[in-house]
Each structure stands twice: as C-alpha cells, then as structure tokens.
C-alpha cells in the first residue's frame, strides 16, 4: 500500500446526485440545487439532506416542515446551476425558471420540467453546526410514462440525471450500465481476485 496518498479529512463522496430542493418561502416557491442528499431508509421511505442553515430555503422548510426533491435532467444544467448562484434572500424569484405545480403536499413545490420529483415531510432536523440535516419521509413520487422502463420503474437512461464531483465542481452525465446489484456478487469467490 506504499503508493497510496493520504488526502486528509476531505468530503470526497464520488459522485453525488444533483437535485433541486423546492420549498415555500414568504416570497413564494423557491428552489436550490443540493448534492448532499441521499435515501437513508427503505420503509417508510426516508431521505436526508444536508443544507447550510443560513440558506433562505432552509427557513421555508423549517416553517412548513415540507419540501420537494426534484431530479433535473442534463438539459436543466444551466437552470440548476443558476439556482445555486443566486439567493431568494436577495429577492431573486427562482420559480421563474420553471413551471411550478403541486402534488399532495401544500408546501412542496414541484418542477414540471424535472422528470422525477419527490414530496417530502420533515421528520427530524439535526443541527450539525453550519448545516442542518433534514430527515424526511417521502410521501409522494411523480414522474411521467415516458420516463419509465419496461418494468414500470423510472429508467435512468430516460431520466438523464447528472451528478456532481467536489471539490472540482464538475457536472457529469451518467454512463453506461456496468452491472446488476444484488446479483453480480453471486458466485463470487474471494480467493479468485484478479
Ligand atoms: C452544484 C451545486 C450544489 C450545491 N449543493 C449544496 C448542498 O448540497 N447543500 C447546501 O447547503 N448548498 C448547496 N449548494 C449551494 C446552494 O444551492 C446555494 O447557496 C443557493 O443559492 C441557496 O439558495 P437560497 O439562498 O435561495 O436558499 C449547491 C450549489 C450548487 C451550485
């Protein structure tokens, strides 16, 4: 292992999903890109999102206890990035970039242009210091027929999401399928490593 380089305590999780979190602020619906997000429980379906406590979006989530998580496709890269360069705290109306609609929750604004969207209800807010971790139940999932595969589930090749790497701050399309989880490991022999 002498060729390994220690980069120190860095947040290199490669890659991270790019999402747009939607919340209702005093000014109306607003959206911010976040990459520090993932599912954390199967049943009930739950996610966790790490968001700087100073963001205007956080205030809306704290007030209403609801938010959305929309998955933008690659054609929404510029709009997504713009939402991360400007702040609702400075009077910018980010909802102007999208067609906003509502599902079942009153305060989880959804983006029609995104191929996949979740409605979430906050179950816990963990104070991490600079950031808040919103733990939330997914109470609704929206897509369209054209984004489903033959198995009736969202098909990543149709959704065309993009992912983020930090600290180089680059966006990437998702490449080709390279395997099948809970399947490829069957029959694997540890002693037969290459
Ligand atoms: C690509 C990208 C990813 C981001 N990911 C996160 C994130 O995971 N957590 C976070 O707190 N802020 C993240 N941000 C920063 C916020 O999106 C940004 O500060 C935004 O303007 C906050 O909006 P608001 O002030 O209207 O709430 C990200 C920004 C970009 C451009």
Residue identifier of the C-alpha nearest atom 6 of ligand 1: 34
pLDDT tier at 191, thresholds 50, 70, 90: confident
Average pLDDT of every residue of the chain: 96
User: Which ligand 1 atom lies nearest to the CA of residue 94?
Assistant: 26
Tens digits of residue pLDDT in 147-157: 999 999 999 99
pLDDT of 4-38, one tens digit each?
Answer: 999 999 989 999 999 999 999 999 999 999 999 99
CATH architecture entry for 16-192? Roll (2.30)
Cβ neighbors of 151 (< 8 A, separation 6 or more) are: none
User: Max CA-CA distance within the chain?
Assistant: 61
Atom of ligand 1 nearest to the CA of 56: 27
Q: How far is CA 123 from CA 58, 152, 162, 170, 190, in A?
A: 14, 29, 28, 32, 41
Ligand 1 binding residues, C-beta < 6 A: 30, 32-36, 50-52, 55-57, 81, 84, 86-89, 164
Question: CA–CA separation, 37 vs 18, rounded Å?
Answer: 8
Candidate of 18, 33, 95 to mutate for ligand 1, largest count of ligand atoms within 8 Å of Cβ:
33
- Helix (H), strand (E) at residue 168: none
Give the distance (Å) from ligand 1 centre to CA of residue 103: 24
Mean pLDDT of 97-116: 98
- Confidence label for 193 from pLDDT (cuts 50, 70 and 90): low
The Cβ of residue 36 has, within 10 Å, a number of other Cβ atoms equal to 18
CA of 127 to the centre of ligand 1 (A): 17
Nearest CA to ligand 1 atom 30: 84
Q: What is the Cβ-side half-sphere exposure of residue 43, based on CA atoms within 13 angstroms?
A: 0
Give 80 Cα–ligand 1 centroid separation in angstroms: 10
Interacting residues of 103 by C-beta distance below 8 A, sequence separation 6+: 110, 117, 119, 140, 142
Whose alpha carbon is nearest atom 17 of ligand 1?
84
User: pTM for the full model?
Assistant: 0.96
**SS3 category, 60:** helix
Closest ligand 1 atom to Cα of 85: 21
Domain boundaries, the chain: 16-192
């Amino acid at each position: 292992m002498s060729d390994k380089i220690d980069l120190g305590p860095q947040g290199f999780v490669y890659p991270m999903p790019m999402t747009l979190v939607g919340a209702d602020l005093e000014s109306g619906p607003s959206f911010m890109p976040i990459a520090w997000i993932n599912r954390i429980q199967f049943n009930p379906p739950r996610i966790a999102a790490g968001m700087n406590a100073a963001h205007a979006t956080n205030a809306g989530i704290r007030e209403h206890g609801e938010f959305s998580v929309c998955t933008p496709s690659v054609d929404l890269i510029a709009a997504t990035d713009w939402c991360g360069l400007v702040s609702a705290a400075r009077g910018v109306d980010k909802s102007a970039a999208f067609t906003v609609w509502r599902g079942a929750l009153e305060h989880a604004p959804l983006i029609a242009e995104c191929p996949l969207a979740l409605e979430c209800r906050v179950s816990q807010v963990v104070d991490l210091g600079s950031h808040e971790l919103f733990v939330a139940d997914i109470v609704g999932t929206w897509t369209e027929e054209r984004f489903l595969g033959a198995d009736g589930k969202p098909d990543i090749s149709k959704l065309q999401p993009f992912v983020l790497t930090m600290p180089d701050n680059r966006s990437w399309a998702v490449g080709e399928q390279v395997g099948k989880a809970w399947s490829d490991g069957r029959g694997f022999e540890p002693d037969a490593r290459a």
